[in-house]
Protein backbone atom coordinates (compact mmCIF):
# COMPACT_ATOMS: atom_id res chain seq x y z
CA UNK A 1 0.00 0.00 0.00
CA UNK A 2 1.34 3.44 -0.82
CA UNK A 3 0.75 6.24 1.65
CA UNK A 4 -0.64 9.47 0.26
CA UNK A 5 -3.28 10.65 2.72
CA UNK A 6 -1.97 11.17 6.25
CA UNK A 7 -3.83 12.11 9.42
CA UNK A 8 -2.10 13.54 12.51
CA UNK A 9 -3.80 13.50 15.90
CA UNK A 10 -2.76 16.56 17.90
CA UNK A 11 -1.04 19.63 16.47
CA UNK A 12 1.31 20.30 19.41
CA UNK A 13 5.11 20.27 19.45
CA UNK A 14 5.41 16.90 17.74
CA UNK A 15 2.16 16.77 15.72
CA UNK A 16 2.85 20.10 13.98
CA UNK A 17 6.39 18.97 13.14
CA UNK A 18 5.19 15.60 11.85
CA UNK A 19 2.51 17.28 9.71
CA UNK A 20 5.14 19.66 8.31
CA UNK A 21 7.59 16.96 7.22
CA UNK A 22 4.81 14.83 5.69
CA UNK A 23 3.43 17.81 3.74
CA UNK A 24 6.89 18.86 2.54
CA UNK A 25 7.40 15.28 1.32
CA UNK A 26 4.25 15.51 -0.85
CA UNK A 27 1.61 13.86 1.36
CA UNK A 28 -1.78 15.41 1.93
CA UNK A 29 -2.08 15.97 5.69
CA UNK A 30 -5.04 16.57 7.95
CA UNK A 31 -4.47 17.49 11.62
CA UNK A 32 -7.10 16.75 14.28
CA UNK A 33 -7.25 19.12 17.22
CA UNK A 34 -9.69 19.56 20.10
CA UNK A 35 -10.32 23.32 19.78
CA UNK A 36 -10.20 25.82 16.92
CA UNK A 37 -7.60 27.94 18.74
CA UNK A 38 -5.28 24.90 19.02
CA UNK A 39 -5.85 24.07 15.35
CA UNK A 40 -5.02 27.68 14.40
CA UNK A 41 -1.90 27.54 16.60
CA UNK A 42 -0.76 24.33 14.88
CA UNK A 43 -1.21 25.86 11.44
CA UNK A 44 0.64 29.02 12.52
CA UNK A 45 3.51 26.94 13.91
CA UNK A 46 3.85 25.07 10.61
CA UNK A 47 3.72 28.29 8.58
CA UNK A 48 6.43 29.83 10.75
CA UNK A 49 8.66 26.78 10.53
CA UNK A 50 8.30 26.50 6.75
CA UNK A 51 8.99 30.23 6.38
CA UNK A 52 12.17 29.72 8.41
CA UNK A 53 13.13 26.95 5.96
CA UNK A 54 12.65 29.31 3.01
CA UNK A 55 14.76 31.99 4.72
CA UNK A 56 17.50 29.43 5.34
CA UNK A 57 17.41 28.39 1.67
CA UNK A 58 16.22 24.84 2.39
CA UNK A 59 13.19 25.13 0.09
CA UNK A 60 11.94 27.75 -2.37
CA UNK A 61 8.75 29.77 -2.03
CA UNK A 62 6.83 27.65 -4.56
CA UNK A 63 7.65 24.44 -2.67
CA UNK A 64 6.71 26.14 0.61
CA UNK A 65 3.35 27.29 -0.76
CA UNK A 66 2.65 23.82 -2.19
CA UNK A 67 3.49 22.17 1.17
CA UNK A 68 1.26 24.57 3.09
CA UNK A 69 -1.59 23.94 0.64
CA UNK A 70 -1.34 20.22 1.50
CA UNK A 71 -1.98 20.80 5.24
CA UNK A 72 -5.52 21.02 6.59
CA UNK A 73 -6.96 21.04 10.10
CA UNK A 74 -10.19 19.61 11.48
CA UNK A 75 -11.98 19.22 14.80
CA UNK A 76 -13.90 16.15 13.56
CA UNK A 77 -12.25 12.72 13.55
CA UNK A 78 -14.83 11.50 11.00
CA UNK A 79 -12.77 13.41 8.40
CA UNK A 80 -10.07 10.73 8.84
CA UNK A 81 -12.10 7.97 7.13
CA UNK A 82 -9.99 8.07 3.94
CA UNK A 83 -6.53 8.27 5.58
CA UNK A 84 -3.90 5.70 4.56
CA UNK A 85 -1.87 6.42 7.70
CA UNK A 86 -2.80 8.16 10.95
CA UNK A 87 -0.01 9.25 13.32
CA UNK A 88 -1.20 9.94 16.84
CA UNK A 89 0.74 12.67 18.71
CA UNK A 90 -1.69 13.44 21.55
CA UNK A 91 -0.50 13.88 25.18
CA UNK A 92 1.29 10.95 26.83
CA UNK A 93 -1.76 9.58 28.70
CA UNK A 94 -2.48 5.89 28.23
CA UNK A 95 -6.28 6.10 28.66
CA UNK A 96 -6.46 9.02 26.21
CA UNK A 97 -4.42 7.18 23.58
CA UNK A 98 -6.44 3.96 23.98
CA UNK A 99 -9.65 5.97 23.53
CA UNK A 100 -8.27 7.68 20.41
CA UNK A 101 -7.21 4.35 18.87
CA UNK A 102 -10.58 2.78 19.58
CA UNK A 103 -12.36 5.71 17.89
CA UNK A 104 -9.90 5.75 14.96
CA UNK A 105 -10.47 2.03 14.45
CA UNK A 106 -14.19 2.67 13.94
CA UNK A 107 -13.61 5.55 11.50
CA UNK A 108 -10.47 4.94 9.40
CA UNK A 109 -10.83 2.66 6.35
CA UNK A 110 -10.07 -1.00 7.01
CA UNK A 111 -6.65 -1.03 5.30
CA UNK A 112 -5.45 2.16 7.03
CA UNK A 113 -2.43 1.98 9.36
CA UNK A 114 -2.69 3.48 12.86
CA UNK A 115 0.60 4.71 14.34
CA UNK A 116 1.58 6.34 17.61
CA UNK A 117 4.43 8.73 18.36
CA UNK A 118 4.39 7.66 22.02
CA UNK A 119 7.68 7.81 23.91
CA UNK A 120 6.83 5.38 26.68
CA UNK A 121 3.39 3.75 26.46
CA UNK A 122 3.57 0.13 25.24
CA UNK A 123 2.30 -0.12 21.66
CA UNK A 124 0.34 -3.23 22.55
CA UNK A 125 -2.00 -1.09 24.71
CA UNK A 126 -3.00 0.90 21.63
CA UNK A 127 -3.14 -2.23 19.45
CA UNK A 128 -5.50 -3.90 21.93
CA UNK A 129 -7.89 -0.95 21.70
CA UNK A 130 -8.50 -1.77 18.03
CA UNK A 131 -9.81 -4.61 15.87
CA UNK A 132 -6.68 -4.29 13.67
CA UNK A 133 -3.74 -4.90 16.06
CA UNK A 134 -1.49 -6.00 13.18
CA UNK A 135 -1.85 -2.52 11.65
CA UNK A 136 -0.82 -0.65 14.79
CA UNK A 137 2.81 0.46 14.92
CA UNK A 138 5.02 3.05 16.61
CA UNK A 139 6.58 5.86 14.58
CA UNK A 140 8.76 7.68 17.10
CA UNK A 141 10.05 11.00 15.78
CA UNK A 142 12.55 13.25 17.56
CA UNK A 143 12.16 16.90 18.45
CA UNK A 144 12.41 19.15 16.43
CA UNK A 145 10.90 16.85 13.81
CA UNK A 146 11.90 18.89 10.72
CA UNK A 147 15.54 18.87 11.88
CA UNK A 148 16.16 15.48 13.50
CA UNK A 149 16.96 12.75 10.95
CA UNK A 150 16.05 9.69 13.04
CA UNK A 151 12.77 7.80 13.39
CA UNK A 152 12.35 4.66 15.51
CA UNK A 153 9.82 2.26 14.00
CA UNK A 154 8.41 0.45 17.03
CA UNK A 155 7.11 -3.05 16.45
CA UNK A 156 4.75 -4.70 18.97
CA UNK A 157 4.49 -8.48 19.37
CA UNK A 158 1.46 -8.44 17.07
CA UNK A 159 2.43 -5.82 14.46
CA UNK A 160 2.30 -7.37 10.97
CA UNK A 161 5.53 -7.36 8.94
CA UNK A 162 3.59 -5.82 6.03
CA UNK A 163 2.74 -2.85 8.27
CA UNK A 164 6.40 -2.50 9.32
CA UNK A 165 7.51 -2.60 5.69
CA UNK A 166 4.97 0.00 4.54
CA UNK A 167 5.76 2.40 7.36
CA UNK A 168 9.53 1.96 7.08
CA UNK A 169 9.40 2.65 3.35
CA UNK A 170 7.33 5.79 3.95
CA UNK A 171 9.66 7.09 6.67
CA UNK A 172 12.82 6.31 4.70
CA UNK A 173 11.91 6.88 1.05
CA UNK A 174 9.18 9.53 1.28
CA UNK A 175 10.13 11.49 4.39
CA UNK A 176 13.88 10.98 3.84
CA UNK A 177 14.50 10.04 7.48
CA UNK A 178 16.80 7.36 8.86
CA UNK A 179 14.57 4.52 10.10
CA UNK A 180 15.64 2.06 12.79
CA UNK A 181 13.53 -0.82 14.07
CA UNK A 182 12.95 -1.27 17.81
CA UNK A 183 10.94 -3.66 19.95
CA UNK A 184 8.01 -2.57 22.10
CA UNK A 185 9.76 -1.88 25.39
CA UNK A 186 10.41 1.28 27.39
CA UNK A 187 13.07 3.55 25.92
CA UNK A 188 13.21 1.84 22.51
CA UNK A 189 16.84 2.25 21.38
CA UNK A 190 17.76 5.90 21.88
CA UNK A 191 16.37 6.55 25.36
CA UNK A 192 17.37 3.10 26.63
CA UNK A 193 20.99 4.09 25.99
CA UNK A 194 20.82 7.84 26.51
CA UNK A 195 18.83 8.16 29.76
CA UNK A 196 21.10 5.99 31.99
CA UNK A 197 24.06 8.03 30.68
CA UNK A 198 22.34 11.33 31.54
CA UNK A 199 21.35 9.99 34.98
CA UNK A 200 24.98 8.97 35.62
CA UNK A 201 26.11 12.51 34.81
CA UNK A 202 23.51 13.95 37.22
CA UNK A 203 24.67 11.52 39.94
CA UNK A 204 28.30 12.48 39.38
CA UNK A 205 27.44 16.18 39.66
CA UNK A 206 25.19 15.52 42.70
CA UNK A 207 28.03 13.74 44.55
CA UNK A 208 30.30 16.74 44.11
CA UNK A 209 32.87 14.61 42.28
CA UNK A 210 33.13 17.06 39.35
CA UNK A 211 31.58 20.39 38.31
CA UNK A 212 28.87 20.62 35.64
CA UNK A 213 31.26 22.48 33.36
CA UNK A 214 33.97 19.82 33.74
CA UNK A 215 31.56 16.90 33.22
CA UNK A 216 30.32 18.50 30.01
CA UNK A 217 33.79 19.49 28.83
CA UNK A 218 35.05 15.95 29.47
CA UNK A 219 32.42 14.26 27.34
CA UNK A 220 32.75 16.83 24.54
CA UNK A 221 36.54 16.83 24.46
CA UNK A 222 37.11 13.20 25.40
CA UNK A 223 34.36 11.47 23.43
CA UNK A 224 33.64 13.92 20.62
CA UNK A 225 30.01 14.39 21.71
CA UNK A 226 28.55 17.63 20.33
CA UNK A 227 27.08 18.54 23.71
CA UNK A 228 27.85 17.53 27.29
CA UNK A 229 25.28 15.44 29.24
CA UNK A 230 24.14 18.20 31.61
CA UNK A 231 23.71 20.68 28.76
CA UNK A 232 21.77 17.95 26.98
CA UNK A 233 19.53 17.49 30.08
CA UNK A 234 18.82 21.24 30.02
CA UNK A 235 18.03 21.06 26.30
CA UNK A 236 15.76 18.00 26.48
CA UNK A 237 14.00 19.36 29.59
CA UNK A 238 14.55 17.87 33.04
CA UNK A 239 10.85 16.96 33.33
CA UNK A 240 11.05 14.99 30.07
CA UNK A 241 14.27 13.23 31.20
CA UNK A 242 12.63 12.39 34.56
CA UNK A 243 9.49 10.99 32.91
CA UNK A 244 11.60 8.84 30.58
CA UNK A 245 13.70 7.56 33.50
CA UNK A 246 10.60 6.75 35.54
CA UNK A 247 8.97 4.77 32.75
CA UNK A 248 12.17 2.78 32.13
CA UNK A 249 12.75 2.19 35.84
CA UNK A 250 9.17 0.98 36.17
CA UNK A 251 9.66 -1.40 33.25
CA UNK A 252 13.09 -2.82 34.14
CA UNK A 253 13.56 -2.04 37.86
CA UNK A 254 17.28 -1.53 37.31
CA UNK A 255 19.14 0.86 39.68
CA UNK A 256 20.93 2.72 36.89
CA UNK A 257 17.53 3.75 35.49
CA UNK A 258 16.34 5.16 38.83
CA UNK A 259 16.17 8.98 38.78
CA UNK A 260 18.61 10.56 41.29
CA UNK A 261 17.07 12.77 44.02
CA UNK A 262 18.63 15.93 42.56
CA UNK A 263 16.77 15.45 39.27
CA UNK A 264 13.43 15.14 41.11
CA UNK A 265 14.18 18.18 43.31
CA UNK A 266 15.13 20.31 40.30
CA UNK A 267 11.88 19.38 38.55
CA UNK A 268 9.95 20.19 41.76
CA UNK A 269 11.71 23.56 41.84
CA UNK A 270 10.71 24.29 38.24
CA UNK A 271 14.35 24.17 37.12
CA UNK A 272 13.51 22.35 33.90
CA UNK A 273 16.40 23.63 31.78
CA UNK A 274 16.38 26.01 28.85
CA UNK A 275 12.60 26.26 28.67
CA UNK A 276 12.34 27.77 32.17
CA UNK A 277 15.66 29.65 32.04
CA UNK A 278 17.27 27.55 34.79
CA UNK A 279 18.59 24.00 34.87
CA UNK A 280 22.15 22.86 35.49
CA UNK A 281 23.03 26.20 33.89
CA UNK A 282 21.30 29.57 33.90
CA UNK A 283 19.81 30.88 30.63
CA UNK A 284 18.48 34.17 32.03
N1 LIG B 1 8.02 16.61 22.86
C2 LIG B 1 8.95 15.71 22.57
O3 LIG B 1 10.16 15.96 22.59
C4 LIG B 1 8.54 14.32 22.14
C5 LIG B 1 9.45 13.52 21.41
C6 LIG B 1 9.05 12.26 20.95
C7 LIG B 1 7.76 11.82 21.23
N8 LIG B 1 6.90 12.60 21.95
C9 LIG B 1 5.54 12.10 22.17
O10 LIG B 1 4.67 12.75 21.27
C11 LIG B 1 3.37 12.89 21.85
C12 LIG B 1 2.95 14.34 21.82
O13 LIG B 1 3.88 15.11 22.55
P14 LIG B 1 3.99 16.70 22.35
O15 LIG B 1 5.23 17.11 23.05
O16 LIG B 1 3.77 17.08 20.93
O17 LIG B 1 2.72 17.20 23.21
P18 LIG B 1 1.94 18.60 23.11
O19 LIG B 1 1.27 18.78 24.43
O20 LIG B 1 2.84 19.67 22.60
O21 LIG B 1 0.81 18.34 21.98
C22 LIG B 1 -0.30 17.52 22.17
C23 LIG B 1 -1.44 18.09 21.34
O24 LIG B 1 -2.51 17.14 21.33
C25 LIG B 1 -3.75 17.85 21.39
N26 LIG B 1 -4.78 16.93 21.88
C27 LIG B 1 -5.08 16.60 23.16
N28 LIG B 1 -6.08 15.69 23.18
C29 LIG B 1 -6.43 15.46 21.89
C30 LIG B 1 -7.41 14.65 21.26
N31 LIG B 1 -8.23 13.88 21.97
N32 LIG B 1 -7.50 14.69 19.92
C33 LIG B 1 -6.67 15.46 19.19
N34 LIG B 1 -5.71 16.26 19.72
C35 LIG B 1 -5.60 16.25 21.05
C36 LIG B 1 -3.45 19.03 22.31
O37 LIG B 1 -4.39 20.08 22.13
C38 LIG B 1 -2.03 19.40 21.91
O39 LIG B 1 -1.99 20.38 20.89
C40 LIG B 1 3.48 12.27 23.25
O41 LIG B 1 3.07 10.93 23.17
C42 LIG B 1 4.97 12.37 23.56
O43 LIG B 1 5.38 11.38 24.48
C44 LIG B 1 7.26 13.85 22.39
pLDDT tens per residue, range 134-157: 999 999 999 999 999 999 999 999
User: Which parts of the chain have pLDDT scores under 70?
Assistant: none
> What pLDDT sits at residue 118?
95
Ligand 1 site-directed mutation target among 8, 12, 152, most atoms within 8 Å of CB: 12
Given a contact cutoff of 8 angstroms between Cβ atoms, the answer to whether 214 and 270 are in contact is: no
Instruction: Tell me which residue has its CA closest to atom 39 in ligand 1.
Output: 12
**Ligand 1 mean position, distance from CA 117 (Å):** 9
Instruction: For 213-246, give one letter per residue: b (16+ CB within 10 A) or e.
Output: eebbebbeeeeeeeebbbbbbbebbbbbbbbbbb
> What pLDDT sits at residue 1?
80
Q: List the chain domain ranges.
A: 5-183, 190-268
- % of the chain with per-residue pLDDT over 90: 98
Residue 13 CB partners (closer than 8 Å, separation 6+): 143
pTM of the model: 0.94
CATH architecture of residue range(s) 5-183:
3-Layer(aba) Sandwich (3.40)
Tens of pLDDT along 105-139? 999 999 999 999 999 899 999 999 999 999 999 99
**At the topology level of CATH, where does 190-268 sit?**
1.10.1040
Q: What is the mean pLDDT of the chain?
A: 97
- Omega of the bond prior to 140 within 30 degrees of 0, cis? no
Provide the phi-psi class of 86: left if phi over 0, else alpha when psi is between -120 and 50, else beta.
beta
Amino acid sequence: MSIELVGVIGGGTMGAGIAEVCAKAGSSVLILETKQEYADAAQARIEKSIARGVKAGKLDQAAADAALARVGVTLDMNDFADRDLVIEAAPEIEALKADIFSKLDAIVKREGILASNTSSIPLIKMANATQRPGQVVGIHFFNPVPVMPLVEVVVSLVTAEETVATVTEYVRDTLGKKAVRAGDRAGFIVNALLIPYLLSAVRMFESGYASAEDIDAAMKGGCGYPMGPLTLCDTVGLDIALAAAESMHQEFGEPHMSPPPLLRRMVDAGHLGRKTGQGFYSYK
